[in-house]
Structure 1
């Protein structure tokens, strides 16, 4: 990446942190929004005086570094202690951003997650005319009267699969549009059939070319119940958002009922769109058939994945910590498995979340003192209810801490299990049985190492957890992948007593 692109990316990041739109920054710089857009995408040469002016306006000295080259230096082998509070879920915030496109009024997502994937979707939204701004810790979204879909930010789209969720809310307004192929974690082949087969029941057809998804929409009410080809989270949300724009009921079977899907349903009720669960995988959506216009303040639900990350770190480092505001309904089976391995946990307090739907609790993870035993049965994941698909990787360092052999079956993704073997470089004994299964032999004598992050959020974070347990100085390089899903992860662990230094390559 050349210097202009490096500086442009940093300007963009600081602008978003300041809660400024491109238009607002352009006014402060006495230039045009198109010029700011070119600068942020590295398409305009910058003089030293211009960089200095940006520094003054943004009130931050601009340094020439690449976000992808941020690394962590971990002085491992320390015990963790204290309390950590779970904040809003990245996946929920993303889903609610797309749901907000159904609202003709203002939507404010309170305490929204500030992670790289959110920033990419903000770029996509701004490129198609959505007004997005940070107001303190809150994310304010106001859709335009007409979407400028032809101006969509291709580069931002290609960095996250979440951009696929544009199809649902836009299908009721635009008959033909294209979306660039979506990126995200590199976890093997991930088809869009779950989206395509369900949406075609409502007159929305998705055709794939070499570079784009082409959407042809004649959105209508489905003539029969829709059965999801796969119970995927983003596919289910896409169908829900499309159904919300159709007058009358849509019955959805084999739907995902994961935490972000449930939160979208709660949000839609505030818009006057009833999304009612008839069973754990059967959902009835009563569409309005027209745009709703309300001003809504909404708190995204807390993140079970962050809670699971903290729990895994405590167990792997044999530490005692309290995880506050943990979403219990999405952690109960995980906690049961952990208890059966010999780690004692206790729910100190139970209460409702801010949306009055989610059951939260403060969970105490006690030290196991090395008395952790591998489970006799395999550990595998499934769509909710079950061990969360995003939680399964965190059982790898837990199993590596236990005495005995654990079979972990990661059947969802072709490549993710392969990344678990990276833990062998810091002392673990992870044996790859096939692309979906690993045998984890413990206990592990962790040791320090220098690693680069694999291109998937959860396996990359698992490496960090292993390094927290490894005595000595480890380096985890290129943590952009982790930053896609976690906000200030180094600070989170340092507040618990870890010793992590952020290294920015200049």
Structure 2
């Protein structure tokens, strides 16, 4: 298990470029299975979850060529379906949450799929119903071996249909869209997720020959085609990294420029951080955050405490609530952070309290943060990263704190943030990987 040693209290300065989007990359990489033709992907983030999925695709028979640090070609013209029956496949797939999205392409192109229960963050229940109900409505039949926790899916005769999703699941929508892209007839998906990453997937599928309309809305129409071709695709910058860097700049009183941020695709993320009192300027497609001694949380118009809650797109992404929470610890004012989707995601606040933050954990979904307004600094402690987003939030806290912090289990951070220690050192951070 790796650790970071962080000596806090240093102001950072400079430019940082966000990596390609993790959540987009996991969808796009699974999409290479839809065609035997060559796919060229750029801005592929070099992080643990993505690299594990690339390795899994290689084991399945996908021919992979690395063109550069963030560019690859993939060609799935000789997929070994027998590999799906092996214990090695089940073990590797179960270690990666994003592996569930190989099912849609496998059903669309080969009519069969198998997967063990996916792993990932320990942030609460993350049910698979949306994926499987969608496949069932397209005509797939599946079974579940509860002893081995293995799903078996038969999708030899997928047919288009109308479906109203019970939740606007991003990965669920992506999986169903990929399966429906080659199903017979027309599929209509209502209450579909419409995140920029899903828009990117749909746009890529259209370039491959798919017939999809309604992209960017929660109502998608898909006319199935018999085959899909190859294309080129570039990932968006990771909006979660961008939000993390905004919070980092505020907490450490740093002057940071986030390069090539694709600002129009960030939704309400910049405005939410502005409501936390954080100043920023848009300079073409860069975000400049000046050094701020103080930042004050807004209140609602009637004077009541600001609430920041997650919601489906175009609402505020749940992946940045942990960053908002830690950023609020040194603001002036009070904020209620409401994490609706996952009941274990706020269970890292005990570490922040140990560091001196004033936080009341109201219940598994809500925490009230009373900002210290820098009158008292957080103090360095030893702590463990429970998941990707909490991990980077603890890292932000450690960089702002007095003294030295040790963050254990940094493999969780590495799952979502590319060479984060090296990139922060270029800004002046005192961080060492142990």
Give me the TM-score of the superposition, normalised by structure 1: 0.79
Q: Which stretch of the first structure deviates more once superposed, 486-495 or 175-184?
A: 175-184
Q: Which stretch of the first structure deviates more once superposed, 106-115 or 479-488?
A: 106-115
1:324 aligns with 2:255: no
Q: Which stretch of the first structure deviates more once superposed, 136-145 or 388-397?
A: 136-145
SS in 1 for 2:50: helix
Deviation of 1:499 (Å): 1.0
Q: Indicate how the Cα distance of structure 1 residues 274 and 284 shifts in structure 2: closer, same or farther if over 3 A, else same.
A: same
Deviation of 1:156 (Å): 1.8
Residues 378-417 of structure 1: matches in 2 within 5 Å? Answer: 378-417=307-346
SS in 2 for 1:107: strand
Q: Matched residues in 1 for 2:330 and 2:105: separation?
A: 45
Residue 428 of structure 2 corresponds to 497
Q: Which stretch of the first structure deviates more once superposed, 332-341 or 191-200?
A: 332-341
Count of residues in correspondence between the two structures: 420
1:108 aligns with 2:40: yes
- Aligned-CA RMSD value: 1.8
SS in 2 for 1:325: coil
Deviation of 1:183 (Å): 0.1
1:91 aligns with 2:23: yes
SS in 1 for 2:343: coil
The structure, 1 or 2, with the larger RCO (C-alpha pairs under 8 Å, 6+ apart) is 2
Paired residues of 2:11 and 2:428 also in contact (CA < 8 A): yes
Structure 1 residue runs of 5 or longer lacking an equivalent are 1-68, 350-360
Deviation of 1:176 (Å): 4.4
1:267 aligns with 2:204: yes
Residue 449 of structure 1 corresponds to 381
Q: Which stretch of the first structure deviates more once superposed, 297-306 or 420-429?
A: 420-429
Residues 193-208 of structure 1: matches in 2 within 5 Å? Answer: 193-208=129-144
Residues 80-479 of structure 1: matches in 2 within 5 Å? Answer: 80-137=12-69, 138-148=71-81, 149-151=84-86, 153-210=89-146, 211-223=149-161, 225-277=162-214, 280-290=217-227, 292-294=228-230, 296-349=231-284, 361-373=285-297, 375=299, 376-443=305-372, 445-454=377-386, 456-479=387-410
Q: Matched residues in 2 for 1:368 and 1:274: separation?
A: 49
Deviation of 1:254 (Å): 0.7
Paired residues of 1:128 and 1:150 also in contact (CA < 8 A): no
Q: Matched residues in 1 for 2:238 and 2:406: separation?
A: 27
Q: Indicate how the Cα distance of structure 1 residues 146 and 120 shifts in structure 2: closer, same or farther if over 3 A, else same.
A: closer
Paired residues of 2:40 and 2:233 also in contact (CA < 8 A): yes
Deviation of 1:177 (Å): 3.8
Deviation of 1:175 (Å): 4.2
Q: Which stretch of the first structure deviates more once superposed, 265-274 or 363-372?
A: 363-372
Q: Matched residues in 2 for 1:328 and 1:92: separation?
A: 17
Give me the TM-score of the superposition, normalised by structure 2: 0.92
Residue 40 of structure 1 corresponds to none
Paired residues of 2:388 and 2:416 also in contact (CA < 8 A): yes
Q: Matched residues in 1 for 2:116 and 2:264: separation?
A: 35
Paired residues of 1:374 and 1:402 also in contact (CA < 8 A): no
Higher CA-based Rg = 1
Structure 2 residue runs of 5 or longer lacking an equivalent are 300-304
Deviation of 1:391 (Å): 1.6
Q: Indicate how the Cα distance of structure 1 residues 279 and 131 shifts in structure 2: closer, same or farther if over 3 A, else same.
A: closer
SS in 2 for 1:132: strand
Q: Which stretch of the first structure deviates more once superposed, 460-469 or 131-140?
A: 131-140
Q: Which stretch of the first structure deviates more once superposed, 183-192 or 143-152?
A: 143-152
Deviation of 1:222 (Å): 2.6
Q: Matched residues in 1 for 2:157 and 2:254: separation?
A: 53
